[in-house]
Structure formats: structure tokens, C-alpha cells
Structure 1
Amino acid sequence: MRRLIAPTALALVLVAIAGALGAWQLRAWQERRAAEARDLTQLAPVPLTDVMGPDDPFPGTDLGRPVSITGEWLPQGAFYVSGRESEGRDGLWLVVPLAVGAATEPAVPVVVGWTPAEDAALVPTGTGEVTGWLQPPEGNLSVDDDPTDDVVPQLRTADAIQRVDNDLYSAYVVATTPAAGLEAATLDSLPEVGTFTALRNLLYALEWWVFGAFAAFVWWRWVRDEKATERVTDSPS
């Protein structure tokens, strides 16, 4: 039996190490997926210019982050986005570009609220201060049936930029507090976890656990063979 002590101790060490490393990789997998799916909407607002510049692509890691903007409303660039619901009612988003800083600076489209019908009197003017959630431009194969009106099917940068002389940020903001006479718009986009996010960590965890199981199997086979050999040796001739 003394011959079993060293192999058994070695097997226990290998299984423990493999189990611990597998658990470590599993935690890394879980943490990376949680980080990608994190909900930023409850964080304190930061200035939009701290998150992105007017020429920057949309920062995917900041999807849903609250941002603050101070600038000048561009009411001539206001438009509506159709097909938006509020408590089961069909309506529109009212979107107004807000120049970040002076009226000639690049602007960001701001969803200032939801309305059941078009109403030009609801468009804000003058200096604006907005806190809202950062969102990426929309875009699919939806077709604008009437390019001559102020209603579009999606909030696309390509549509918005035709209405103002300013450059536009590659993003839009959903105001947390609606403009006067409007209802709050619903936040559409939050991060989703990709299927293959941190998959390597999960595979490493499985690999370590398989190694630990293999070490335990080898130990079991060795012990079984040793005992069988002892029985043969101890049996009378």
C-alpha cells in the first residue's frame, strides 16, 4: 500500500491544479461576458466630448452611457422617426439636432421625446442643456416613402445630415427628460453579448477539467492494476 501513497498524492495535486485553473478560466469567461453586457444607463453622466469626437466612429463600449451636452438647438433640422411606441400606442420620436457648443459646431441628433402626431410647436429652440443615453445610428433596409416630408423610418445619420449645414456625430442621444409637451422616449439599444465572446476562456476551462479527469482516470487504472498484481502475487501457487 505504501507504493500507492506517492502516485495518489501526485494525482490529487494534478486534479486540484486542473480544477483550480479550470475554475479561473470559467470566472474569466463569465467576467468578460458580464463586462460586454454591462448596463451603463445608471452611471453618472459625462460630457459627450469626453466619450467621442465629431469625427470618431461610435464607441461600442459606451452604448447606453449617459452623456451631457450643452449647445444650441438647430430647429430647422428637426424631424420625426415613425413607428415608435409608448405604452402600446403608435407614434413618433421628435428628433432635433443640438450643436455641441456654438451653433456652427458639429451637432448630435437628440430624441427629445415621443409624440402621437407631428407638432412643430414642440420643437425646442435657443440654448439647450441635455442629459441622455448615447445610442448608435440606426440603419437597415427601411425605405423613406416620402423624402419630401419630415418623417423618416429610421434615425440614420445619412438622413439627418441632409437637414442641417453642420457636421454630425456618429451617434444620437435619447433625452432622459422629454421636452415640454412630449412624453419620454423609450431607450431602444442596450449591449448584447456576442455568441463567441470570451469563448477561448470557456474552452480553456473545459480543457483543464478534461486534463484533471484524465489524471484521475490514469490514477484509477494504475491503482486497479497494482491491486490486481498484488492479488496474483499473494495467491498460493
Structure 2
Amino acid sequence: MTEPRPQTTLLRAAVRPRMIVLLVVLLAAAAVCARLGAWQLDRAQVRGAKAEDRHVAALVAAPPVPLGDVLTPQTSFRGDMVSRKVTVTGAYDAAGQLLVGGRAHDGVTGYLVVTPLREPGGAVLPVVRGWVAAPADADVPPAGDVTVVGYLQASEQAGDGVRLGEDGTSGRADAVSSAELLNVWGGPIYTGYLVVATSDPAQSDAVAILDPPRKPGAGLNLQNLAYAAQWWLFGGFAVLLWLRLVRDEAAGGRPEPRGSSPAPAGPPAPPAAA
């Protein structure tokens, strides 16, 4: 008779009563770990949201600093610059205005209104003047010199290109990407863009002012998030432990191959000489 296949041996070991009882216990422990992980994730979201709200409130209350003190054209945009409140003076180039579609605001999908602001020295700053629900709602930016206060955000990855407008209409783009805008607006250009908070002179109410931008991953408490990951790992270890015990059970209970027998005993040793 042939030796049982390993799969059959593992299955027999797994359905033994003590292994089934152990499986139920470990699955219950894994379920508890999963529930505790979900609770910690919920705590991470709640605590993170409160901390982010305090951070945004501090940004709004902070006085703006000159843009040149934080960022200069064609220099790297650092992560700590996100949401920095700055002020800049220049003139809008209405002919270069673009609409970036697929952007949600208050639960409605619409368009960002992006207009180049040219500084006296010639540098170009992409400015998100706000949001509109439809292209026809996009207004003309204020003429002449304007002083804008807003929040910095990093340039986005390039999309499918920029399509210029015709007959005075706004062009279209898929992203607020300085790399793409450089080819259309010229340079030198900033590697980030500005989200308008206030403008002097003020722009029309047709464009909705946006909230300060947030960093990716903001709104989660990292400590609670780490606790959640630990609980889920513990739950996974419980399942892996049962699988390991099944393998050990199968290895310990596997019968010896048929036809094998203990080695025959040799002749008795002669008595020792006196």
C-alpha cells in the first residue's frame, strides 16, 4: 500500500476534533483583533480630523508672508510649504485662464478656475481663483495690479495636456501642473500654485472661494493608525498559527512507510572474562 499523500494527511489533521476546537478559538481571537483594529482606525480618523481642523484654523488666523520669503520661481517645492499663507502682487493674464475639470466642491463636481498671475519681474504664478459648477460660470479676473492672499499647494502631476480657449473662452486642462503650464504661459514659473483666500480688488462672487489645501494623508492620527495595524497583524498571526499547528499535527501523526521494520537484534554479546 502506498503512503498517504501530504494533502490527505493535512486534511485529516485539520478535521481532528482538537484542531477544530483550536480553530474556533483562534478565529474568535482573530475576530476580536480585527474589531479592535477597526476601533483604532476610527479613533485615528476622529483624532486626526480634530487635529487637522485646529491646524487649518491656525493657518487661517496667521498673517500672510511675502511669497518670495517662502518660494521663488523654478525652485523645488517642499512639503512643509503646503498651506503656507502668503501674499503676492501682480497682474492677471485673462487670455491664459484655464478650467481644470473633475474637481468636487461641497459634494458637486465642477471646475477649478486657474489664471496666470504675472509678477512685475516677469515670473508666472498659477493661481486657483476658485471653483465653478459650469464653464459658463467662470468670470473674468480683475484687471490691472492685484494683491492676492492665499495658500500654497504643490504642483500636480502632468495630465493629458493643455487645450487653449477660443473666442475669449477659458482653455481646458486636466491638472494644475507647472510643467505643462510652462509650455503655454512661458516662464520663469513657480513649481507650486496659490489657492486664493482674498483679493484686492475683490473678484466677483461667481467663483466660489476654496478651503485651504491639505497635505496628503492629513486627518489621520498616526499613533492610532499604528495601533490598528498591530491589531490586524495579531489577527493574521492567529490564523497562521493554526495552519502551522495543523502541519505539526500532520507531521507527528504520519504513519511509518509499510514494509519497514526495526533492525534485527544482533547475537548476544559474550560474557565478560573474569
Q: TM-score range by the shorter chain?
A: 0.5 to 0.7
- Find the aligned partners of 1:64 and 1:186 in 2 and give their Cα distance: 10
CA distances 1:105-150 after superposition (whole Å, capped 9, x unpaired): 111111111112224643333211100000000116x435x74551
Unaligned runs of 5+ in 1: 1-33, 198-237
What is the match of residue 92 of structure 1?
Answer: 111
Work out which of the residue numbers 128, 137, 144 in structure 2 matches 1:126.
144
- Find the aligned partners of 1:162 and 1:75 in 2 and give their Cα distance: 17
What is the match of residue 47 of structure 1?
Answer: 66
- Find the aligned partners of 1:158 and 1:91 in 2 and give their Cα distance: 23
Say if 2:83 and 2:151, in contact at 8 Å, map to a contact too: yes
Unaligned runs of 5+ in 2: 1-50, 166-170, 223-274
One-letter code aligned to 2:214: S
What is the match of residue 67 of structure 1?
Answer: 86
Superposed counterparts of 1:19-168, under 5 Å: 41-42=59-60, 43-100=62-119, 102=120, 105-119=122-136, 121-139=139-157, 142-144=159-161, 147-149=163-165, 150-168=171-189
Instruction: Give the drift of 1:166.
Output: 3.1
- Find the aligned partners of 2:163 and 2:116 in 1 and give their Cα distance: 18
Report the number of matched residues: 157
SS in 1 for 2:147: strand
One-letter code aligned to 1:167: P
Say if 1:80 and 1:94, in contact at 8 Å, map to a contact too: yes
CA distances 1:166-188 after superposition (whole Å, capped 9, x unpaired): 32111100001373121112444
Say if 2:123 and 2:188, in contact at 8 Å, map to a contact too: yes
Q: Between the two proteins, what is the percent identity of the paired residues?
A: 28
Query: Alignment RMSD, CA only?
Result: 2.9
CA distances 1:160-210 after superposition (whole Å, capped 9, x unpaired): 2222233211110000137312111244432647x9x9xxxxxxxxxxxxx
What is the match of residue 190 of structure 2?
Answer: 169
- Find the aligned partners of 2:87 and 2:100 in 1 and give their Cα distance: 22
Say if 2:83 and 2:213, in contact at 8 Å, map to a contact too: no
- Find the aligned partners of 1:147 and 1:190 in 2 and give their Cα distance: 28
SS in 1 for 2:88: strand
What is the match of residue 225 of structure 2?
Answer: none
The two structures have a TM-score, normalised by structure 2, of 0.50
Say if 1:45 and 1:66, in contact at 8 Å, map to a contact too: yes
Say if 1:63 and 1:191, in contact at 8 Å, map to a contact too: no
- Find the aligned partners of 1:166 and 1:124 in 2 and give their Cα distance: 22
The two structures have a TM-score, normalised by structure 1, of 0.57
Q: 1:71 to 1:133 in 2, by over 3 A?
A: same
One-letter code aligned to 2:130: G
Structure label with greater radius of gyration: 2
